[in-house]
Structure 1
Amino acid sequence: MTRSHPPSSARSATPLGDGLPGLRGRGFVLLIAATAIGLCGFAAVLPLVPLWATRGGAGEFGAGVTTAAFMLTTVLTQLRMPWLLDHAGGYRWAYPVGCLVMGLPTPLFSATTDLGPLVAVSAVRGVGFGMVTVAGTALAARLVPAEQMGRATGYYGLAVGVPQVLILPGGVGLALCLGFDTAFWLTGLCSVAGAVLSAGVWFADGGRNRPALRGAGRSRRPGATGARVPKSALAAPLVLMLLTASAASALVTFVAIPLEGVAWLASGALALYALGVVVGRWSAGSLHDRQGRSLLLLPGMAVAVAGTVLTTAGLWWHGGVGQPGVGTASLVLSGAAVFGLGFGAVQNETVTLMLNRAGPAGFGRASAVWNIGYDGGAGAGAVGLGLVIQSLGYGPAFALTAAALAAALPLARVGHSPRPAQVV
């Protein structure tokens, strides 16, 4: 049955579903703008700090430790975020404060290449990122009616991913061309701008967002699942998020190091990866709303495995020595793009699966679990792959990553889970 929609002008002026303004509401638009601008400070710095650390003699393991420290404090913060959102008015202040904590220390990176200070600044920034990720994912779901949740998480994923198409490679290019100082200052300012924009979410749409934000601990949709969702319901998507995020962290953290002498290839791989994530995540979100269920989790995992295999072949062939040939470059670029496509689909399918199983009253917890899977996997991937790379090299390390993803394919069968019916 086809769902009818009012004209776009009516949608922008009239609350939908349970009284929320929906995708066209000013609150949701401000959240998307704050995410697109504010998280540039995350995307650009993620490959820059490891590269900056290696210039100070830290080696691959030291480079991975900077990312791991960032992700460790991110996860520790995320563990406390559900309580803060529900009991300390966190929906009002967590996002802007998190952007400030993430952005203000960023220029300090330029002061030294010593590993200790780099790890310390990374750890502080991780606290801010942990606040932003959990609050942002939960807000994206809470600011829209149930029938728009797939697209809402898709738009949120676009806001996270689209800037990365330019920022992931652009940050590396900017640092190599104009200096690391300039890159760190500009990315820090982006996060501060995100704080300013996100502060307006609370006041947008004539205050209609406020009940949704204040009512975090109670369901605003009668009949929806309560906050006490069984842990087993989130276990399979959490494992899938952990593994695919580890593989993504390996790509983002380490691909620029063996290819530093071939800046166009490193930048191109990061750009195609980010573009693939955007396309994959948006496609999964749109299909979820049309079909009322998650359908791309297993295909997304299979595509992620294929992309990792291609990247592995390219890095193994290249060996980190000399200029890469056409075959090597093609494998690295296509592998990054294909992996990004699968990873984007897995991102959106796992987050909508968790949110559907948790229900509105459990959005904070589901958001925290999903983000812990994402960021915990990223930290583990950075440290684990750093150790393996130092021992075996880039090709074998990425091959192990591909094998781990392939072993998890049976878990992706949990994806065919319908969203709970909306009761208005």
Structure 2
Amino acid sequence: MAANPHSSPAVPDGTPQKRPSLWTRDFALVCLFNLAIFISFQMLMPTIPVYVDRLGGNQAVIGLVTGIFTVSSVALRPWTGLGLDRYGRRGIWLAGTLVFVLAVAGYNWALSIALLMMLRVVHGAGWGILTVSAATAATDLVPPPRRGEGMGFFGLGANLGMAVGLADSLAAFLGAAVVGGLGFGSLHPALQALAVATCAPTRRGAAQATFTASFDLGIGVGAVALGLLAQFTGYGGMFLASAGMALAGLVTYLAVGVDSMPAGKRNVPPS
């Protein structure tokens, strides 16, 4: 009888080896932290454009306010990853969280577009630091045999945060939101696990910094470019362009993507 490729590995005496524990206290706390910060982030996503509009800004300014947040975040991510690998996780993580919390509180006093732009730079810096730190800590805590599963649960915080933070979205977008959420919820943690699958433990901070910087860069460039596009094509054209970018990303990965799992660890179907 052929062995089941999905069964637990056995020790020399034939006894199945117990799967390593995933839900430790520390991992659960990191996941809850990720959920909390993404709820905060997603609650601001739909309200910032409205606030900019009330301050007198147009669609281009809205895109710029969103984009400058991303520029700040992306600029700090590589240095954050380097610091995490060299000096440890705790201090840098706490510093990023403090900056993030103070920036969110500071929106109460952002009474002009200029002040709002400066605050978005600070907010983006805190966001860039704490998200890289949290993702790196989660990677440290997940046992390698369960990395895909663990990063999936960690990434669930971003998706639940989106659902809670954007609870006031128009009902007309619910169908698209469900489909988009399913795609994002499946793809993002898979890519995050892939980003650290082959790197050394001492380079996980750098790997997560690169991954999250690419993610933020896409948000920033997309916010500015699509904000400008929406002024000429309307929202329909903007959504079609977004879908085209996602399709281009899939085609690019299928063309040049590399399977990171060592050949000896792939499941071989029974003969």
Shared fold per TM-score greater than 0.5: yes
Structure 1 ranges of 4+ moved more than 6 A:
none
1:412 partnered with 2:253? yes
- Write out per-residue CA displacement over residues 175-230 of structure 1, whole angstroms, 9 at most, x where no aligned residue: xxxxxxxxxxxxxxxxxxxxxxxxxxxxxxxxxxxxxxxxxxxxxxxxxxxxxxxx
- Write out per-residue CA displacement over residues 130-153 of structure 1, whole angstroms, 9 at most, x where no aligned residue: 111111111111112201211221
Percent sequence identity is 28
The one-letter amino acid of 1:128's match is G
1:73–1:127 CA contact under 8 A, matched in 2: yes
Structure 1 residue 421: Cα displacement: 7.0
1:318-397 paired onto structure 2 within 5 Å: 329=172, 332-397=173-238
Structure 1 residue 115: Cα displacement: 1.4
Match of 1:69 in 2: 68
Structure 1 residue 113: Cα displacement: 4.5
The secondary structure found in structure 2 opposite 1:388 is helix
Higher RCO (C-alpha 8 Å, min separation 6): 2
The one-letter amino acid of 1:3's match is S
Name the CA distance, whole Å, in 2 between partners of 1:412 and 1:345: 15
The one-letter amino acid of 2:42's match is A
- Write out per-residue CA displacement over residues 292-316 of structure 1, whole angstroms, 9 at most, x where no aligned residue: xxxxxxxxxxxxxxxxxxxxxxxxx
Match of 2:80 in 1: 81
2:34–2:154 CA contact under 8 A, matched in 1: yes
Going from structure 1 to structure 2, the CA distance change for 1:420 and 1:16 (only over 3 Å counts) comes to farther
Match of 2:134 in 1: 136
Match of 1:107 in 2: 105
Name the CA distance, whole Å, in 2 between partners of 1:364 and 1:61: 34
Match of 2:13 in 1: none
The one-letter amino acid of 1:418's match is M
Please, what TM-score do these two structures have when normalized by structure 1? 0.55
Name the CA distance, whole Å, in 2 between partners of 1:139 and 1:49: 30
Match of 2:42 in 1: 43
In structure 2, list runs of 5 or more residues that go unmatched: 11-17, 266-271
Match of 2:240 in 1: 399
Structure 1 residue 407: Cα displacement: 2.9
Structure 1 residue 74: Cα displacement: 0.6
Structure 1 residue 419: Cα displacement: 5.8
The one-letter amino acid of 2:67's match is A
Going from structure 1 to structure 2, the CA distance change for 1:420 and 1:118 (only over 3 Å counts) comes to farther
Match of 1:30 in 2: 29
1:41–1:103 CA contact under 8 A, matched in 2: no
The secondary structure found in structure 2 opposite 1:57 is coil
Structure 1 residue 397: Cα displacement: 2.1
Name the CA distance, whole Å, in 1 between partners of 2:262 and 2:209: 19
2:39–2:164 CA contact under 8 A, matched in 1: no
The one-letter amino acid of 2:237's match is P
Going from structure 1 to structure 2, the CA distance change for 1:88 and 1:113 (only over 3 Å counts) comes to same
The secondary structure found in structure 2 opposite 1:104 is helix
Name the CA distance, whole Å, in 1 between partners of 2:182 and 2:214: 19
Match of 2:8 in 1: 3
Going from structure 1 to structure 2, the CA distance change for 1:49 and 1:421 (only over 3 Å counts) comes to farther
Going from structure 1 to structure 2, the CA distance change for 1:60 and 1:47 (only over 3 Å counts) comes to same
2:85–2:204 CA contact under 8 A, matched in 1: no
1:38–1:99 CA contact under 8 A, matched in 2: no
The secondary structure found in structure 2 opposite 1:357 is coil
| Matched length | 251
Name the CA distance, whole Å, in 2 between partners of 1:335 and 1:362: 37
1:53–1:113 CA contact under 8 A, matched in 2: no
Match of 1:58 in 2: 57
Name the CA distance, whole Å, in 2 between partners of 1:416 and 1:399: 30
Structure 1 residue 375: Cα displacement: 0.7
Name the CA distance, whole Å, in 1 between partners of 2:245 and 2:159: 25
